[in-house]
Amino acid sequence: VTDIHVSKFLEPERVSAFESFCAESLAIIQPALVLVTAKQKTLPNFQILKCLNFFSRKYSGWQKEGSFHYIHQTPFGNYSFICVDATLTPGPKRPYNFFGIIRKDQMQKLSELAVESLRSNQSVWFGHYPTSTIVSSSPGIRQVMSSSVAYMCGHLHTLGGMAPVLHSQHQQGTLELELGDWMKNRRYRIFAFDHDLFSFIDLQYDEWPAILITNPKSALYSNPAVEPLKRIQHSTHIRVLVFSLDPINSVKVFIDGQELGEAEHSSGPLYVLEWSPETYINGLHEIKVQVKVKVSVTRSRPPGCFTLASFSVHVLSKNNVFFYSIVLLTLFTAIVFFNIPLTAYLCWCLLCRCKGHGFFSHLRHTRKIVCVPVHFFMFLLLVWQIYSCFFLLLTYGSLATFLSPMKLWLVVLTLILGRKVWVFNSPELRSYVVELKNCQST
């Protein structure tokens, strides 16, 4: 699960749904491991990592900051789970926390954890930030995690619904699987290892039954570099995990549109059906599982996850200069899109004053097609600047807003200058007006 965004003030059903998910859904799935990734906002001890009352230190399962390595031990082998902590220190809020940073010492630690994980059957890396939004030192985060079968993350929230599936595969073979957010979309993921073959499915909360085909696994999400894919050819059964709130009537398997048979219940959520893999050794084939439960609900699912187009967003430049230049970029955009138009507007107003006009007289004597769009455009810029102050207030608080020269101070200065340019009447302006009129008359 990722991007829960628990809030006391917004969408209380978000919390109640998550409580129901933890109490009911997890009780049905009974996972051996639960992974939760998110950025953390902890009031009132924000940024006080060493405080004994720090929420993460007090309530989290790990109770430490930084990357770590967890080894899940089973009778048939060990499986490594490595957390990638790319959060910023100190931790700014949006928009600066859109990118994560892994320092050189953190990269060295992750390299050591990667070496440790080589003794496990398989390794899965997880973190909040996609690798495309992580700034890391050489050799790069993707190279360090190249021995893992998959990297699971969140953070992008399906890009506002424009990209419901954000999956990619690194050059080294590692699958990068971003999960949609819980905050708006109520997404969660079930993943499993079947004879060291990694399978997963992304689901909507309260969507039952949940069906995960573990053998044969999806060809789209295969990692030949670390997965023993030959085991599929030598397998004797199709294996499916089915989770349901209601008793299950039947689990039918179809390959290439033809019914192969009805799977038998083995144990727990596992259903199996004998098959002959040599029949399907050539080409790609479509497998579908249809589940019927006692409340007359029928659900089918193809292997893997969504059958939608997927893509990955890549950042071309990945060095520390790239991240810190974001601050300069913010300053640059403020100058280009507000300060420069404001200066041009004030110069135009002064020109109207020099021609002997006041605010109301220039509206009567200046062409409406010129003056109205100019004032309206400046009004829109001012509204946008005020909105950015409100956004800053919600994000960083009243003190940061009050001490922001490029936001609140600029709004106040704009109002003062806008009034001043139309009402002041200094001797210098009067003499310049007279001189300008003399030039125009001659």
Q: What does 322-380 look like in DSSP terms, one character per residue?
A: HHHHHHHHHHHHHIIIIIHHHHHHHHHHHHHHHTT--HHHHHHHS-HHHHHHHHHHHHH
d(CA 178, CA 102): 19
2 inside domain = no
One domain, residues 32 and 102: yes
Alpha helices for 41-125 (secondary structure H) = 55-59, 104-117
**What per-residue string of b and e applies to 206-217 under the rule 16 or more CB within 10 Å gives b?**
eebbbbbbbbbb
* Boundary of a domain, candidates 243, 271, 301: 301
SS3 317: coil
310 inside domain = no
314 inside domain = no
One domain, residues 52 and 116: yes
One domain, residues 140 and 96: yes
**Predicted local confidence at residue 396, as pLDDT:** 67
One domain, residues 226 and 132: yes
Structure tokens at 280: 């399907």
**Predicted local confidence at residue 306, as pLDDT:** 28
One domain, residues 419 and 349: yes
93 inside domain = yes
> Across the chain, which distance is largest between two alpha carbons, in Å?
103
One domain, residues 140 and 64: yes
Residue 22 φ/ψ, nearest 5 degrees: -70, -40
245 inside domain = yes
- Nearest CA to 92 out of 159, 46, 137, 139 is that of 46
Pairing of strands 150-153, 122-127: parallel
- Nearest CA to 148 out of 216, 63, 84 is that of 84
- CA 129 to chain centroid: 7
**Predicted local confidence at residue 60, as pLDDT:** 58
53 inside domain = yes
DSSP letter for 268, please.
Answer: T
Structure tokens at 29: 């799935």
d(CA 395, CA 393): 6
4 inside domain = no
- HEC string of 115-128? HHHCCCCEEEEEEC
One domain, residues 270 and 343: no
d(CA 24, CA 253): 28
8: part of which helix (H) or strand (E)?
Answer: none
Count of Cβ atoms closer than 10 Å to residue 120 Cβ: 20
CA distances from 305 to 38, 98, 219, 309 (A): 22, 26, 11, 11
One domain, residues 105 and 223: yes
SS3 28: helix
DSSP letter for 218, please.
Answer: P
* Boundary of a domain, candidates 301, 331, 362: 301
**Predicted local confidence at residue 430, as pLDDT:** 72
One domain, residues 109 and 188: yes
What count of residues does the chain have?
442
Residues 6+ apart with CB under 8 A from 265: 248, 251, 271
- Nearest CA to 183 out of 25, 36, 27, 29 is that of 36
Please provide the distance, in angstroms rounded to a whole number, between the alpha carbons at the two ends of the chain. 78
DSSP letter for 147, please.
Answer: T
82 inside domain = yes
Residues 6+ apart with CB under 8 A from 96: 88, 326, 327
d(CA 149, CA 167): 14
pTM of the full predicted structure? 0.69
* Boundary of a domain, candidates 269, 301, 333: 301
Q: Per-residue pLDDT for the chain (442 aa), expressed as one digit of tens each?
A: 998 887 777 788 888 899 999 999 999 999 999 998 876 544 434 444 455 454 555 555 555 678 899 999 999 999 999 999 988 776 666 666 788 888 888 999 999 999 999 999 999 999 999 998 888 888 889 999 999 999 999 988 888 777 888 899 998 999 999 999 998 899 999 999 999 999 999 999 988 999 999 999 998 999 999 999 999 999 999 999 999 998 999 999 999 889 999 999 999 999 999 999 999 988 888 999 999 998 755 566 655 432 322 333 333 333 344 444 555 666 777 788 888 998 998 888 888 877 777 777 777 767 777 788 888 998 999 998 898 888 778 766 788 788 888 888 888 998 998 888 887 776 666 776 777 777 766 6
One domain, residues 154 and 223: yes
**Predicted local confidence at residue 402, as pLDDT:** 84
Torsion sign, CA atoms 363, 368, 369, 373: positive
Query: Residue 124 belongs to what domain range?
Result: 12-301
One domain, residues 109 and 236: yes
Structure tokens at 326: 């974001």
How many domains does the chain contain in total?
2
SS3 177: strand
d(CA 52, CA 190): 34
One domain, residues 356 and 285: no
